[in-house]
Amino acid sequence: MLQVESITKRFGGVVANSDVSFSVDEGQIVGLIGPNGAGKSTMFNMISSIFPPTEGNILFCGKRIDLLPSYKVAPLGISRTFQNLQVFKNMTVIENVMVGQHMRTKQNLSGVASMLLGIAKNERKVYEEAMDILRFFNLELLYDQKASSLSLGKLRLLEFARAYATEPKLLLLDEIAAGLNHSETSEMSELIKRVRDSGVTILVVEHDMDLVMSICDKLVVLDQGMKIAEGAPKEIQANEAVIAAYLGAEIEEEVV
């Protein structure tokens, strides 16, 4: 479904990704892992077309997407969450989700005449769908709260719900469990599996190894911009290069 082909990304002199290739098959949960600075977020930003790669192609369902502006990627069926939380904080919870439904509810400024008469007719349908999505993510009781008043755990759920509302084929989750406690994390992993079961392919970037190991079908490991391993969680746990990379990182962190 998603093919990343020999991607290299340079920021000035800094090489963030170097010749990385991997693929994601339909119906899988794939984890992109690696120590800090491995280039995971950069890869994510390229897949969601926030910026283009320096070299290489990214194909989604056989179509090149690496040169599209980011608003054109969403209609193809790719959606994402943001590690640093980009919720629309001045809007209510349900309005956030309704923005997620934006492109599925066609009606543009040219339908100005209908606007004179009041709210467009499908507004109620959108609203009820949004409510269903909120129920799915256990957010229905907070629907009319301003997003800025939510706790971190709820904000992560809201990001997830908003991305899900675009009805993606591929969902990119960028450290969706960062900062969550144990019960919230396990709730999140259940949710991720349920979303996958509803027919959405999922690519996660994650630090929480327990979460990754328990939900992923396949893992891709990056270190210092390069892919060092790829395979099922069991294989990865036994992979020497991966262990070295993580241990090395830990030693470095201790030194610092």
Residue with smaller CB distance to other proteins, 131 or 213: 131
Residue with smaller CB distance to other proteins, 188 or 236: 188
| Both structure tokens of 230 | 């790829």
Q: Which of 73, 173, 205, 229 binds other proteins (CB under 8 A)?
A: 73
Contact 50, 4 (CB under 8 A): no
> Strand, coil or helix: what is 132?
helix
Q: Which of 13, 116, 238, 256 binds other proteins (CB under 8 A)?
A: 116
Q: Which of 24, 65, 74, 188 binds other proteins (CB under 8 A)?
A: 74
Q: Which of 18, 161, 37, 145 is nearest to 93 (CA)?
A: 145
If binding is defined by CB under 8 A, does position 52 make contact with other proteins?
no
If binding is defined by CB under 8 A, does position 36 make contact with other proteins?
no
Buried b (16+ CB within 10 A) or exposed e, 44-69: bbbbbbeeebeebebebeeeebbebe
Q: Which of 44, 81, 92, 85 is nearest to 165 (CA)?
A: 81
Q: What's phi and psi for 86, nearest 5 deg?
A: -115, 45
Residue with smaller CB distance to other proteins, 11 or 210: 11
Which residues would be at the binding site for other proteins (CB under 8 A)? 11, 41-42, 44-45, 48, 50-51, 69-75, 79-80, 82-84, 86-96, 98-100, 102-103, 105, 107-109, 112, 115-116, 118-120, 123-124, 126-127, 141-145, 150-154, 162-163, 166, 174, 181, 183-184
